[in-house]
Every structure is written in structure tokens, then in C-alpha cells.
Amino acid sequence: MESELRERTAALLAAHDPADTDRLAFLQARFDAGLAWVHFPEGLGGLGAPRSLQAVVDAELAAAGAPGNDPRRIGIGLGMAAPTILKYGTDAQKRRFLRPLWTGEEVWCQLFSEPGAGSDLAALGTRAVLDGDTWVVDGQKVWTSSAHTARWAILIARTDPDVPKHQGITYFVCDMTDPGVDVRPLRQITGEAEFNEVFLTGVRIPDAHRLGAVGEGWQVAQTTLNNERVAIGGQAAPREAGMVGVVAETWRARPELRTHDLHQRLLKGWVEAEVARLTGERLRQQLTVGQPGPEGAAMKLAFARLAQELSGLEVELLGEEGLSYDDWTMRRPDHVDFTGREAGYRYLRAKGNSIEGGTSEILRNIIAERVLGLPGEPRTDKNVPWKELPR
């Protein structure tokens, strides 16, 4: 299979020379050749090949100077929406959404969390009521990355308030250009507004844009959430990638800043980062034979803890320099760069790592109950109709 992929990649490059082919045209041709994500089915950007062989294609194309699809800008689509659509979408939905999602023509966002339903996501109150063959959605979502640039959103809403909270949820694809969608920026401690709050007023979603059965949205959402945690904390990376590499580089370049205590902390952080990287590699090998499970929660938990500890170490290492901040201007970036800009920015931005993509507290519960098999916390609301829950 590897030789076949190399041949297909060579044929793609011969027919569409990156030097004189429009970027979008090349990405579309790559998708149609089955070289976008090789483990996807034929006709949907893949060839049904082992996921591990994607690296072969990527290396060949990188060596030829082929353009990429800018995964940082479309990470929610690639890491969360696409796996969910592939598993639960109809054939028509897969054909409509996956190609422009992968090429970056259409950006996606995630409408899950609400002001009263963050860690307890199943308590969400956004309502969807069926009107003929169209669902009418009203409610509010919050902490929505990329909502200001998104064309589509993956959305969960309550379709039956008379059953327990986990049972009355349905999963939809929402058109972010609907006139009832109001996106407002949420300015963060960094000065930026990469997150948004989204108000939905009379938003109409055709039933053809429903993913999974009515009332089974919680099960569908688990696919999204499990993939989200892997996307945040389990990406392939070389040694000293990410925050640990930034701090190690400063340590090597500025010997006058070193102390024994900081050295010990850096060594501890370096070892833990390498353990996390190798654990992530093992997780990705498991993914070659199945869907991500709750194990991804451990990767995301480790990522958040390390990012916060190492960014704090960098600020202490730099002393007064670490307290500087280049620009507090309110911006609405189209992607997140955890290690971008200076130490002060990295330190502040890392504070969000233990909240976004599932709080560290909730992830510990998931690991305890679903990975380690420990007894679950007492839950008195599991069999109570959602409409009777105190809010």
C-alpha cells in the first residue's frame, strides 16, 4: 500500500505542479485523489488505507513544496466535525461537507457550551423545535472558537425537555450565515477575542442537516468530544515541540538567567513533556485500528498542566523581561498559537488550556470512571426529566 501511495502522490504532483497550480485547485485535486486523509473511504478524500500511512503522503508532498490546508485555521473542522460527519453523516452530508472542510474553503466552529452548561454539558438549554421538515433553534452558546470566521457549526440542542437530560439532545449542522445567528466577541486576558458568544434566535436548520437520530445527540457528541481531546493534546510532534521547546531554547541561549532551582524544574518539565509525547504516539497507533476513546482525556489533561507549568517557568526564568507584553490591542485571530508572541502572552494564554476542550476537573472524572473503572460520583439527576431540574 505504501508504494501505491507514493505512485499516487507522484501522479498528483505530475498533473498539478505546485509551482504553477493555484493553491485551492491543488488541495481540491489532492482530496479527489484520495490523499487528503488516506484512512477515509474512497470518494471522501481517502483510500481506506491505514491511518499511519498519511505520513508517507505528507512527506512526499512537503518535499515537493506542495501547499498545505492550514490546519491551525480549520482545526475544529478537521479534528472534530469531520470524524463526526464520517461516523454519523448520511452519504449526502459526507459529499456536501467533507471536501470544502478539508480544503479550508469552509471554516467550522463548535456550538456546545452554554452559560449554564459548561462542565455539565448535558444540562444545555438551547431548544430545537421541529416545524415541518425544519428545526427552529433558540438559545445561547459560549466560548466558541472561530465563530466569527465560520461558515458551518456543529450544534447540540434540546429537542425533548420531558426526558432526562442526556436523552433529549439532538445533533445538527448549523448554517452560521443564517440571519438568526448573532456572533459577539469575548475578549480574553490576552487582549484578543479568539472566543465568541453566539446567540441563536429563530435559526432554521433543515432536518437534512441533522446528524444521527433525534434524541441521540449525546452519543454523537461523544465522538466529537473524544476527537477534540486528541486534537488538542495528542498531535504528532518532534522532541521539544511546543512550550517545552520554547523554554529550553531560552535556557540554552541565556546562561546568565540560570539557577539551580530553575534547572531542576526545567528537567522535570522536559521529562514529563517527553513522556506525554511518547504516550501520544502510542495513542495515535491505537487510533489506526479504531476511534479515539476516553484515553484522549489523559493527553489533553497532560497538555494543559505542562503548558501552564512551563509557561510559568519561562516567566520566572526571564525575570522582569517575562512581565513585558507587546500589544493589548483587541484582535479576533483566525487561529490559536499557543507558543506565539512573547513569554507574557504564552503565560496568560496557557491559563485557558485547563478550561477549553473540557476542564481538567471533568477530564479527571472521565479518566477515573471510564479508563480506571473507579466508581462514579453520585448523580441524583440522571433519571429526572430535564424540565424538572433546578436552573
SS (H, E, C) the chain: CHHHHHHHHHHHHHHCCCCCCCHHHHHHHHHHCCCCCCCCCECCCECCCCHHHHHHHHHHHHHCCCCCCCCCCCHHHHHHHHHHHHHHCCHHHHHHHHHHHHHCCCCEEEECCECCECCCHHHCCCEEEEECCEEEEEEEECCCCCCCCCCEEEEEEECCCCCECCCCEEEEEEECCCCCEEEEEECCCCCCCCEEEEEEEEEEEEHHHEECCCCEHHHHHHHHHHHHHHHHHCCCCCCCCCHHHHHHHHHHHCHHHCCHHHHHHHHHHHHHHHHHHHHHHHHHHHHCCCCCCCCHHHHHHHHHHHHHHHHHHHHHHHHHHHHCCCCCCCCCCCCCCCCCCCHHHHHHHHHHHHCCCCCHHHHHHHHHHHHCCCCCCCCCCCCCEHHHCCC
Catalytic residues: 228
